[in-house]
Each structure stands twice: as C-alpha cells, then as structure tokens.
Amino acid sequence: MDKTEISKKLSFLLRHSTEPLYIDLDGGWADVSVVIDTLKKKYPDMNMDILEQIVAEDAKGRYSFDSEHNMIRANQGHSIPDVIIEMEEPDPPEFLFHGTATRFLDSILKEGLKPMSRQYVHLSPDIKTAVEVGKRHGKPVVLVIRAKDLVDSGNRLYRSLNGVWLTKYVPTDFFKICNSLY
C-alpha cells in the first residue's frame, strides 16, 4: 500500500472535502473512524495503525490527533472557508518566503499575493522550503516578504501548529523577488 498516495487523499478529505460529515468547522476535526472507513473504500487494508504511521512519519507535520486519537485534522492548507483552525500569532521574523512558479509572477507582481483557492497565503520560514513549494507549480521562484513590516502595518500573520505562516493577502510593496542562489 502506498502511504504517500493515501496521505494525499487524507489531506484532501481534511482540507477540501465539502462533505460536512468529515469536518467539524470549529477546529477542523474529523472523526478518525469515519476517515478510516472512507479511505478503506479505496484502500481496503487501511486501518488505525497505518493512519498512526502516516501522521507520525509526515515530513511536514501536516496532521494532528486529539489527545484520545479519536479525532484528526490537517494543521493548515484548508480551502473550506468556514473552518477555523487553531493558530498562534507570534512576533514574526523580519523576513518570510513564498515559493511560486515563474508563470504566476506577472500576475503576482500586479495583484499581490492572494490566497487563491485556500483560506490563506502560505509563507515559509526558509528559502529551501519555499523552493520545494514553488516546484509543485513549475519552474520555482522565491519571493522574500518583509513580514515584520507587514504586521507593523496592521496586517495579521499567523503560524500554524506545523510552522507554516499564514496571512490573508500580501500587497506588492511588501515583497520582492529573492535573488539568493537556490
């Protein structure tokens, strides 16, 4: 059984499924047994052990269980507008990074960074992670964001439990193309 493939399906269920059965809007929690039953339809060997492994081994810490492991949620990345996920609002670092593809640059430089289909614009704490995010869309390019100035100007910037920084919109005057070698 391909755990990466199951993890992709799991992220979809926990971030984008509009079926209210899965996601409690208050906190984004889904019932573990319902999630396993759903995954079993496509992956008949799916069980709690495999789910525990997927959560524990996830390189980006995408998922959390509640203390009893009866509920599970994605820590960030949601598109469902009404889901409220627990986030911190710590003091931001001076700079954060956003990885995107060169083909989006014209539009981004004109309009600013928008959440597109997700609830938030996702920002990375380091260039390496941003390059990986950008590669998912094509030839990567990294933008450096003046995060501290963004907050000092009255914008809100959150950090998800797995360390992804999130904000509603980044106007063009708060970022530029990052020219470091990557």
Which positions touch ligand HQG (CB under 6 A)?
11, 60, 62, 77, 100-101, 104, 107-108, 111, 113-114, 116-118, 122, 133, 136-137, 164
SS3 sequence of 37-72 = HHHHHHCCCCCHHHHHHHHHHCCCCCEEECCCCCEE
Question: What's 138's DSSP letter?
Answer: S
> Closest separation between CB of residue 125 and ligand HQG, Å?
11
Query: Which C-beta is closer to ligand HQG: that of 122 or that of 146?
Result: 122
> Closest separation between CB of residue 137 and ligand HQG, Å?
5
Residue with tokens 């960074």: 113
The answer to whether residues 23 and 17 touch, using CB atoms and an 8 Å cutoff, is yes
Query: Which C-beta is closer to ligand HQG: that of 45 or that of 106?
Result: 106
Nearest-CB residue to ligand HQG? 100
3-state secondary structure of 86: coil
Query: Which C-beta is closer to ligand HQG: that of 45 or that of 126?
Result: 126
